[in-house]
Amino acid sequence: MNVSQLSAFHAVMTSATLTEAADRLGRTQPAISAAIRSLEDQLGMKLFERRGRKLVPVPEAQYLMTEANAILRQLSQVRQTMRGLGDGHLGTLTVAAMPGPVTMLFPRFIATHIGKRTGIKTSMLARSSNQIAELARAQSIDFGFADIPADADGGGLYRSDVISGNCFVALPATHTLAREQTVSLEALSSQPMGSLQANHVHTRDVRRAFDKAGYKFNPMVESQAFLPILPFIVAGQCCAILDPLTVVHVRETGAFSKTLCIRLLDQQLRYSYAIISPAHRPTSVIATEVRDAWTQEVHRFLESAGADPEFRVQRRDAMTSS
């Protein structure tokens, strides 16, 4: 028993004549008759009695009709579901993002991009960069957005698409350096600074830049992300060398617009982000679409901030905590 036979049987049961049944299916009348005979042969029983030019169903055919209705309805639902999955209107999306972007930029993008496609079930996780790497290594997410570490052993368990941009300086609006168009490391030497955790690759890069130039890096406020440091800057307790997406967040939300000053750093200090995809988890249509669109969105964010974005593809298997 196959779908073609059941479709022919259903058409005959719901049509006045064999000709009408053939027309509905776009098949010839002999093809419909052959399908019915084949079905009867497989079942070992007659389903119709011929009375003149009409086929009259036997009582047992009514039972088969009930089952055929259920089967064909289910097949129709499967077809619709698969079409929805294929065009990105149905499916599940499991993503993760680090503190900072997960506060507003990342979920806003996901919500806007999915839009009115109500058939997509989304699971969004807020995790540290190290935890996101672990999720990708375990093939537990479709993709994640995290910081890229300085060290990686290339184990091949996930792929990292890396986007980097120039850093900025955040100052209290009343700070004397706020009058400058750019701020140098020399001007920040010995200034109380807000920074990410001491083992974070960005903090190491900043410290290395200060040391190389012979200036003193003086971290006084430490956090897992830059957003919690902003109130300390506004309160006049520190300055900070920010990543460009934090600058985008500040500008798009208008946070601290009158009390916080953002200036260019007068030397190139890059901040790297990674869009991490598991290497051994099949990627769905919707996951591929959203991941690629988020990559473009991050590039657009960095361009709008004047961060001179650069893009490269790497393979990573180990991440430092962040």
> What is 93-164+275-316's CATH number?
3.40.190.10
Instruction: Read off the pLDDT of each residue in 1-23 and give the average, rounded to a whole number.
Output: 82
- State the Cα–Cα distance between residues 174 and 192, nearest whole angstrom: 15
Kindly report the average pLDDT of the chain as a whole number.
Answer: 87
- CATH 3.40.190.10 in the chain, residues? 93-164+275-316
pLDDT at residue 143 greater than cutoff 70: yes
- CATH 1.10.10.10 in the chain, residues? 3-86
pLDDT at residue 319 greater than cutoff 80: no
Centre a 10 Å sphere on the Cβ of residue 156 and count the other Cβ atoms it contains. 11
* Three-class SS state of 28: coil
**What is the distance, to the nearest Å, from the Cα of residue 281 to the centroid of all Cα atoms in its chain?**
14
User: 3-86 is classed in which CATH architecture?
Assistant: Orthogonal Bundle (1.10)
Predicted local confidence at residue 74, as pLDDT: 83
Token pair for residue 294?
């988020």
Predicted local confidence at residue 81, as pLDDT: 59
**Taking a C-beta distance cutoff of 8 angstroms, is the pair 93, 287 a contact?**
yes
Cα–Cα nearest to 70, from 160, 163, 166, 6: 6
Predicted local confidence at residue 250, as pLDDT: 95
- CATH 3.40.190.290 in the chain, residues? 168-268
- State the Cα–Cα distance between residues 132 and 78, nearest whole angstrom: 33
Predicted local confidence at residue 88, as pLDDT: 52
Question: In the chain, where does DSSP find H-type helix?
Answer: 3-13, 18-25, 29-43, 59-86, 105-114, 129-137, 185-188, 201-213, 230-234, 244-253, 285-305
pLDDT at residue 320 greater than cutoff 50: no
User: 168-268 is classed in which CATH architecture?
Assistant: 3-Layer(aba) Sandwich (3.40)
Predicted local confidence at residue 251, as pLDDT: 94
